[in-house]
Copies of this chain bind each other. A is one copy, B any other.
Amino acid sequence: MSRKIRVAAAQIGAVHKTAIKSETVKRLITLLQEAATHRIQLVVFPEATITTFFPRHFFTSQEELDTYFEHGADISQSPDVKPLFTEAEKLGIDFVLGYAERTREGVGYNTCVYYSASSRKVISKYRKIHLPGTVEPFADPEAVNQLEKRYFTPGDLGFRAFRAPGLVSDAVKKADVKEGETTVGKGDPILGMMICNDRRWPEAWRTYALQGAELLVFGYNTGGNMAHLWGSKPMSPEAAQKEALFHSRLVQQANSYMNACFSISAARCGLDDGKYDLIGGSSICSPEGNVVAEAEGTGDELVWAEVDLGECRQGKEKTFDFGRHRRVEAYGLIVERTGAEEVELL
Contact = CB atoms under 8 A, between A and B. Distances in A.
Interface of A: 129-132, 154-155, 158-163, 183-184, 190, 197, 200-207, 210-212, 230-233, 243, 246-247, 250-251, 253-255, 257-258, 288-289, 314, 318-328, 330-346
A346 B206 contact: no
Q: Which among A129, A204, A334 has the greatest number of chain B C-beta atoms within 10 A?
A: A334
B130 A230 contact: no
Given A232-B314, A314-B232, A158 B330 contact: yes
Contacts of A250: 250, 253-254, 257, 289
A318 B230 contact: yes
Q: How many copies does the complex hold?
A: 2
A309 to B, nearest CB: 14
A271 to B, nearest CB: 23
Q: Which 7 A-B pairs have the closest CB atoms?
A: A322-B339, A323-B340, A254-B254, A212-B343, A202-B202, A230-B318, A160-B346
A67 B36 CA distance: 65
A4 to B, nearest CB: 15
A343 B243 contact: no
A181 to B, nearest CB: 13
Given A159-B333, A323-B339, 14 more contacts: A154-B327, A159-B346, A161-B346, A190-B345, A203-B326, A203-B330, A207-B334, A210-B333, A233-B314, A250-B250, A254-B254, A321-B339, A328-B336, A334-B335
A22 to B, nearest CB: 34
A322 B338 contact: yes
Q: Which among A253, A332, A343 has the greatest number of chain B C-beta atoms within 10 A?
A: A343
Nearest to A246: B289
A211 B343 contact: yes
Contacts of A162: 345
A324 B345 contact: no
29 contacts: A158-B346, A159-B330, A159-B333, A183-B343, A200-B258, A200-B320, A201-B325, A201-B326, A202-B255, A202-B258, A203-B326, A203-B334, A206-B333, A211-B343, A211-B345, A212-B343, A212-B345, A230-B319, A231-B318, A250-B254, A250-B289, A254-B254, A321-B339, A322-B338, A322-B339, A324-B340, A328-B334, A334-B334, A335-B335
Contacts of A210: 333-334, 337, 339
